[in-house]
Structure 1
């Protein structure tokens, strides 16, 4: 008999029965189970709809676009206000807290929202600015030409590298290090790719 592989999200053995119960509810829907990031993720036409996992103090079902759910029972939370825009979690601490009909209601609504194409679009981040770096470019036309040849993504890497320095002397040292790279057409992180 094969031993069941433990998911990395399952930080303890406390929640196996509870997660299996959630799975028994989810399989009643048209969602397809897959494993992503070490957790059971349920998809519709290869789009992530929800996932489940066990943590130290709770187990959860999370909805990738949960922000669009009506949340009539007021059970959903945003686990990370600073970074999470769409994902919402429903946390449980015992199997007794799971109301199958209510869970199915939320799942069916999430499926319908997915079919409607409701999703949070990634925010386009503004290109960072650097007065120091711009002064260097303005004073060296070859450097400016070489920098302008990079993709916006690679330009952003250079700018963030310079601007993340807290002291002026660190900015200068970083600039001196990346200047030959720019002139050669080598991106900041190319050696890691």
Structure 2
């Protein structure tokens, strides 16, 4: 069973790869068998991604693939919830509500720059933050009387990521050409699957 800390670490790593071009050190760890062996979760989807990462790749090719998939320009993969879901209140209302939700849980905007709150990376970071809290700080999220971390994970995943993440990840899978970018959807699914398993174990009293 993956730990909350392990799921959080994998979640932060995947989230960063969805928002920041990978540097040589990170790609070097992915290319190294020892680095892949140290990936913090081992669920079936993650193992598929790690097997893809065992294929050879060049650093420059990966960075070019990342830019083609995600940088603003010709036709980047849509990665915002508001780009996939019809929202009666519009994107601005969703972004405001999410920023308030993150702030209430103690999640700040550090290291995300101008990335909007409904970007898949920000939403994964929020779940990773909650997963880390499961073991070290299981108190309610936000104000007194707020939800437990495991309940907030379940509610947030159901009402946000479950509505668009699958489509966004499949769009990445269809267009990625290098092993790290082809592995990214499986690594992200692995985080979400491990998060669900973590919540189920916690609900059953196994935390």
State the TM-score bracket (shorter-chain normalisation): under 0.3
| Structure that is richer in helix per residue | 2
Q: Which has the larger radius of gyration?
A: 1
| Structure that is richer in strand per residue | 1
TM-score scaled to structure 1, two decimals?
0.22
TM-score scaled to structure 2, two decimals?
0.21
